[in-house]
Structure 1
Amino acid sequence: MDEFIRSEKQIRRKQAVRTMICMALLLLLSAVLYGCSKTEETGPAAAAAAGTGARRQADGYGVSEDKKLIIYTSHKEEVYGPIIREFEERTGIWVEVRDGGSTELLEAIGREAGQQTCDVMFGGGVESYEAYREYFEPYRCKLSDKLDDRYLSSDDSWTAFTELPIVFIYNNKLVSAETAPHSWKDFLDDEWRGKIAFAAPGKSGTSYTALATMIQVLDMDERELMEDFVTALDGKVSAGSGEVVDEVSTGIHLVGITLEETAKKRIAKGADITMIYPEEGTSTVPDGCALVKGAPHEANAKLFIDFTVSDDVQNLIMDQFCRRTVRKDLQMKTAGEEMKIMDFDLKWASAHQDEILALWSELIR
Structure 2
Amino acid sequence: MVSRIGLLPVAVLAAACLGLAAPAQAQQHVVLYSANDNTVNNMISEAFTKETGIKVDVVSTGSGVLFRRIASESANPQADLIWGVSSALLSQNKAYFQPYAAKEKAAVPAAYRDPQDLWIGTNLQILTISQNTKAIPADQGPRSWQDLLDTKWKGKIAYTDPANSGSSYVTATTLLSLWGDNDAAWTKVGTLLGNTKVLNRSTLVFDGNGSGEYPLGISLEYAGNLWAHNGAPVKVIYPSDGTVAVTEGIAIIKGGPNPEPARAFVDFVNRKDMQEMMLRATFRRPARQDIDLSTVPGNMPALSALKLVSYDDMKWDAARRDTLARLKTLIQNTR
TM-score range, shorter chain: 0.7 to 0.9
CA drift at 1:219? 2.3
Cα distance change on mapping 1:153 and 1:348 into 2, 3 Å: farther
Q: 1:163 aligns with which of 107, 124, 130?
A: 124
| Aligned residue runs from structure 1 range 197-276, under 5 A | 197-221=158-182, 223-233=186-196, 236-276=197-237
CA drift at 1:239? 2.8
Q: 1:359 aligns with which of 315, 326, 330?
A: 326
Q: What CA deviation, in whole Å up to 9, does each residue of 1:158-186 have, x standing for no partner?
A: 21011221111122232234542221122
Name the counterpart of 1:128. 89
Q: In the alignment, residue 120 of structure 1 is paired with which amino acid?
A: L
Q: What CA deviation, in whole Å up to 9, does each residue of 1:268-304 have, x standing for no partner?
A: 1111222111001211112111112332222221221
Name the counterpart of 1:95. 56
Q: 1:343 aligns with which of 287, 310, 317?
A: 310
Name the counterpart of 1:154. 115
Q: What CA deviation, in whole Å up to 9, does each residue of 1:124-178 have, x standing for no partner?
A: 2222323333333333322222212331223333210112211111222322345
Quick check: 1:325–1:331 contact (8 Å CA) kept in 2? Answer: no
When structure 1 is superposed on structure 2, of 264-273 and 209-218 the one drifting more is 209-218
Q: In the alignment, residue 259 of structure 1 is paired with which amino acid?
A: L
Higher share in strand: 2
Residue 185 in structure 1 maps to residue 146 in structure 2: yes
Percent identity between matched residues is 28
Quick check: 1:204–1:240 contact (8 Å CA) kept in 2? Answer: yes
CA drift at 1:242? 2.0
Q: In the alignment, residue 360 of structure 1 is paired with which amino acid?
A: L
CA distance in 2, matches of 1:91, 1:130: 30
Q: What CA deviation, in whole Å up to 9, does each residue of 1:92-117 have, x standing for no partner?
A: 22211111222222232233332321
Higher share in helix: 1
TM-score (norm 1): 0.74
Cα distance change on mapping 1:323 and 1:278 into 2, 3 Å: same
RMSD: 2.5
Quick check: 1:160–1:288 contact (8 Å CA) kept in 2? Answer: yes
CA distance in 2, matches of 1:196, 1:309: 35
Q: 1:106 aligns with which of 67, 70, 73?
A: 67
Structure 2 unaligned runs (5+)?
A: 1-23
CA drift at 1:344? 2.9
Cα distance change on mapping 1:242 and 1:300 into 2, 3 Å: same
Quick check: 2:156–2:215 contact (8 Å CA) kept in 1? Answer: yes
Name the counterpart of 2:257. 296
Q: What CA deviation, in whole Å up to 9, does each residue of 1:216-251 have, x standing for no partner?
A: 322242543443343333xx4223222212112333
Cα distance change on mapping 1:360 and 1:117 into 2, 3 Å: farther
Quick check: 2:175–2:189 contact (8 Å CA) kept in 1? Answer: no
Quick check: 1:167–1:259 contact (8 Å CA) kept in 2? Answer: yes
Quick check: 2:41–2:58 contact (8 Å CA) kept in 1? Answer: no
CA distance in 2, matches of 1:339, 1:204: 23
Q: In the alignment, residue 357 of structure 1 is paired with which amino acid?
A: L
Q: In the alignment, residue 152 of structure 2 is paired with which amino acid?
A: E
CA drift at 1:362? 4.1
Q: Secondary structure at the match of 2:103?
A: coil
Residue 116 in structure 1 maps to residue 116 in structure 2: no
Q: In the alignment, residue 116 of structure 1 is paired with which amino acid?
A: P
Aligned residue pair count:
301
Name the counterpart of 2:12. none
Q: 1:76 aligns with which of 11, 31, 37?
A: 37
| Aligned residue runs from structure 1 range 273-284, under 5 A | 273-284=234-245
Residue 325 in structure 1 maps to residue 286 in structure 2: yes
Quick check: 1:147–1:327 contact (8 Å CA) kept in 2? Answer: yes
Cα distance change on mapping 1:350 and 1:154 into 2, 3 Å: farther
| Aligned residue runs from structure 1 range 9-28, under 5 A | none
Larger radius of gyration: 1
CA distance in 2, matches of 1:157, 1:232: 41
TM-score (norm 2): 0.80
Cα distance change on mapping 1:112 and 1:237 into 2, 3 Å: farther
Q: In the alignment, residue 212 of structure 2 is paired with which amino acid?
A: G
Name the counterpart of 2:9. none
CA distance in 2, matches of 1:298, 1:122: 15
Quick check: 2:122–2:288 contact (8 Å CA) kept in 1? Answer: no
Structure 1 unaligned runs (5+)?
A: 1-61
Q: In the alignment, residue 344 of structure 1 is paired with which amino acid?
A: Y
Quick check: 2:193–2:330 contact (8 Å CA) kept in 1? Answer: yes
